[in-house]
């Protein structure tokens, strides 16, 4: 099982079946906040959907194709972050994340994304880490910008978000850049 202690306040853990109720509750409490930028909220309407997400996350991890980890802040479930995809051929990890509505303003996601970036380079031996965010999502874009990622461009109409397309911006960090920053 994956567990990664970031610091005294933060820890990442692979989700387990017993986490379904708490994760669904956090998702449900944050629904209107998350729905502005994430397309999957209409498909997560009951605890069973969260159980399916957890099962899929565990398969993704077992198959060494990605990692969805629960973020615990001071022992409380705060969100999800990890690698949406691990591309072993090209040595690229694609980071994704979301934070519950009541957990913003504590530096949680910046520290989490920093830890995931470092883990990708030092433990997984990746050459590249990518973070994509909707062009209008300033809070999500601030994370890679704070960490010194390079803005690499905009992908037009990259994602269908309920009733419209949104552009994505892509940020990248290379292993050498991370070591020399």
Q: Enumerate residues 6+ apart whose C-beta is below 8 A from 139.
A: 104
Backbone angles phi, psi at 48, to 5 degrees: -60, -35
Specify the DSSP element, H or E, that contains 107: none
pTM reported for the whole predicted model: 0.95
Write the pLDDT tens digit of every residue in 10-68: 999 999 999 999 999 999 999 999 999 999 999 999 999 999 999 999 999 999 999 99
- For position 81, which CATH number holds? 3.40.630.30
Nearest to 11 by CA among 58, 67, 71: 71
Report the 10 Å Cβ neighbour count for 2. Answer: 14
Domain range for residue 141? Answer: 3-179
- Number of separate domains in the chain: 1
φ and ψ of 129, to 5 deg:
-125, 130
């Amino acid at each position: 099982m994956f567990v990664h202690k970031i610091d005294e306040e933060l820890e990442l853990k692979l989700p387990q079946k017993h986490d379904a109720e708490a994760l669904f509750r956090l998702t449900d409490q944050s629904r209107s906040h998350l729905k502005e930028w994430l397309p999957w909220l209409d498909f997560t309407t009951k605890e069973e959907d969260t159980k399916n997400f957890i099962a899929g996350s565990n398969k993704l991890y077992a198959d060494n194709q990605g990692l969805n980890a629960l973020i615990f802040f001071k022992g409380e479930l705060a969100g999800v972050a990890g690698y949406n995809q691990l591309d072993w051929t090209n040595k690229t990890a694609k980071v994704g994340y979301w934070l519950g509505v009541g957990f913003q303003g504590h530096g949680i996601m910046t520290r989490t994304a920093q830890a995931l970036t470092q883990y990708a380079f030092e433990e997984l031996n990746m050459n590249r880490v990518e973070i994509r965010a909707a062009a209008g999502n300033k809070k999500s874009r601030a994370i890679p910008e704070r960490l010194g990622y390079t803005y690499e461009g905009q992908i037009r109409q990259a994602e269908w978000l309920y009733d419209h397309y949104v552009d994505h911006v892509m940020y990248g960090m290379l292993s050498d850049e991370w070591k020399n920053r």
